[in-house]
Chain A
Amino acid sequence: MQQVDPWLVLSFCAVIFFIGLTGVLVRRNILIILMSIELMLNAVNLTFVTFAKQHALLNGQLAALFIITVAAAESAVGLGLVVAMYRTLRSVETDKLQFLRD
């Protein structure tokens, strides 16, 4: 069977991670920011699993399982915050969060 070098898979994870980071920095919509955070979490997950495969260990896969659980909890609370923010501001743009300035 042909081989894929581990550094290629790890670089792929880094590409997805930095796409997510760029999304967090550039976009002003809180829902897009949450989606970009999910992208970053996924990329880190895949990095863990790749290292697990590369070194014939299973700790990375267990870490990935825990990260999936934490991501589920995070998105539940995050979307609850989005709903609360929309009730207060009638908007999902982070630019509108100016209570301290006003």
Chain B
Amino acid sequence: MDISPVFFYIFGGLAIAFSLLVIIKKSLIASAFSLVVVFFSFGAIYALLDAHLVAALQVLVYAGAIMVLFIFVIMLLNADVQSVKSTRANSFFVVFAVLGSLLTLGLFVWSFRHVTTSLPPGQFTTEAVANAGGNTQVVSELLFSEYILPFELTSVLLLTAIVGAVVLVKRHRRSAKNAAS
């Protein structure tokens, strides 16, 4: 693929290093800010892969909205203090989890390296997309024609998520009333 190797290795290395920090760091805030760096690196790699709309949404939604939500909850619960004395899984289990992940990762890398797909190339090459008005326009046209049903279902999903989150976080008024009476 015609993407710049220098930028790919820089942002890929950043993403791997900081995602390791996410799962290693004791402090929740440190993990959250490492995750922000990972999200920005992913945004850069999306831009390298000519997925400009996905790159912009990655920065806006992930590095903006979702991370604000995470940091908001960490601050709200004041959970950073108690994470210092957080219990760990026993080391036997940790060794097995890491080994299993590494072995499966090796399987994935091997199959990515050696298995070739016979899928014929599609029509949306970089030049074709650029001539048709750019990545955002072509993706939007597909989104509002061929993918209109999933798009509308997504709005239902978001509404459900909003209602669910409000119901979960809301304090139950009945128990307060019982306590008062």
Question: Residues of A with Cβ closer than 8 Å to B?
Answer: 1-12, 14-16, 18-23, 25-29, 31-32, 34-36, 38-39, 42, 45-46, 49-50, 52-58, 61-62, 64-66, 68-77, 79-84, 86, 91-93, 95
Contact = CB atoms under 8 A, between A and B. Distances in A.
A49 B135 CA distance: 13
A53 B51 contact: yes
Contacts of A71: 61-62, 66
Interface residues of B, number: 85
A70 B157 contact: yes
Contacts of B28: 29, 31-32
A19 B97 CA distance: 11
20 contacts: A3-B3, A4-B4, A11-B109, A14-B112, A18-B105, A19-B19, A23-B23, A26-B88, A26-B94, A32-B23, A50-B1, A52-B49, A56-B124, A56-B125, A62-B142, A69-B158, A72-B61, A83-B73, A83-B168, A91-B82
A48 to B, nearest CB: 9
A65 B58 CA distance: 9
Which 6 residue pairs across A and B have the least CB separation, nearest first? A23-B23, A73-B161, A80-B168, A57-B122, A25-B97, A80-B165
Interface in B30-61: 31-32, 35, 38-39, 42, 45-46, 49-51, 53-54, 57-58, 61
Nearest to B3: A4
A4 B1 contact: yes
Contacts of A23: 22-23
B159 to A, nearest CB: 9
Given A18-B102, A66-B154, 4 more contacts: A4-B8, A7-B109, A12-B16, A72-B65
Contacts of B62: 38, 42, 68, 71
Given A61-B53, A61-B54, A27 B23 contact: yes
Nearest to B102: A18
B108 A14 contact: yes
Given A20-B19, A23-B22, A28-B87, A92 B77 contact: yes
